[in-house]
Amino acid sequence: MSYIILFGSARDNGSTRKAVDKIFQNEDHRFVDLRTLNISHYDYEYKNAGDDFLPLMESVVTYDNIILASPVYWYSVSAYMKTFLDRWGDLVTTRKDLGFKLQGKRLFLIASFSTSSPLGCAGFEEPIRQTCNYMNIEYGGCFFDFPNTEFISSIGLTSLEDFRSKLFSDSKIAQLYP
């Protein structure tokens, strides 16, 4: 099994990076910091075709598992991650060949909060879950990490060990939603 982590934090070594490191301790993976890439906002006229998004996606589709890592900003992903996800529109319009290569891949989320009492954890996952459903990608759930403690709120996951077991298994993910 191969793993690519798409990291969308504004900080190199903040809580989100620490959560990624906690999960991937000694596991082989590729790490991509979205901040270091030139990924333009979605453009209906596709004038942004020369940026780094399509070359990145050509690499992403070669991996079995896609992990999106983002802090939670106002109950949503970071701006880096949001821009990246908005560009998935290219995969259902101008580059359907890449979009089809995502079918059957497994996608997981790693998220960190700056407080210990967030609201709306399930709401954070919903856009990703819906995107996976639309693109026929297996959604594996989210690991939520908090300062000084850990909290798992993703449906069907009860601990860090449960998340790691599911992530590093090569079995098909049982869909939590039809």
Looking up residue 140, the CATH number of its domain turns out to be 3.40.50.360
175 found inside a domain = no
176 found inside a domain = no
Q: Which residue has the higher pLDDT, 85 or 116?
A: 85
Q: Is the pLDDT of residue 175 over 90?
A: no
Q: Is the pLDDT of residue 116 over 60?
A: no
C-alpha distances in Å from residue 164, one per residue of 33, 48, 86, 168: 21, 36, 28, 6
Pairing mode, if any, of strands 138-146 and 106-112?
Answer: parallel
Q: CA 76 to CA 142: how far, in whole Å?
A: 13
105 found inside a domain = yes
Could you read off the pLDDT of 99-115 as tens digits, one per residue?
A: 999 999 999 999 887 66
Scored b (16 or more CB within 10 A) or e, 132-154 reads beebebbbbbbbbbbeeeeebbb
pLDDT at residue 38, rounded to an integer:
96
pLDDT at residue 132, rounded to an integer:
94
Q: Which residue has the higher pLDDT, 56 or 160?
A: 56
Number of domains making up the chain: 1
130 found inside a domain = yes
Q: Which domain holds residue 27?
A: 3-167
178 found inside a domain = no
The region, left, alpha or beta by phi > 0 then psi within -120 to 50, assigned to residue 144 is: beta
174 found inside a domain = no
Q: CA 164 to CA 43: how far, in whole Å?
A: 37
pLDDT at residue 49, rounded to an integer:
74
172 found inside a domain = no
pLDDT at residue 146, rounded to an integer:
72
28 found inside a domain = yes
**71 is written with which tokens?**
């802090």
**Listed range (41-55, 63-77, 90-104, 145-159) with the worst mean pLDDT:** 145-159
**Listed range (30-39, 58-67, 115-124, 133-142) with the worst mean pLDDT:** 115-124
Q: Is the pLDDT of residue 57 over 60?
A: yes
Q: CA 45 to CA 48: how far, in whole Å?
A: 8
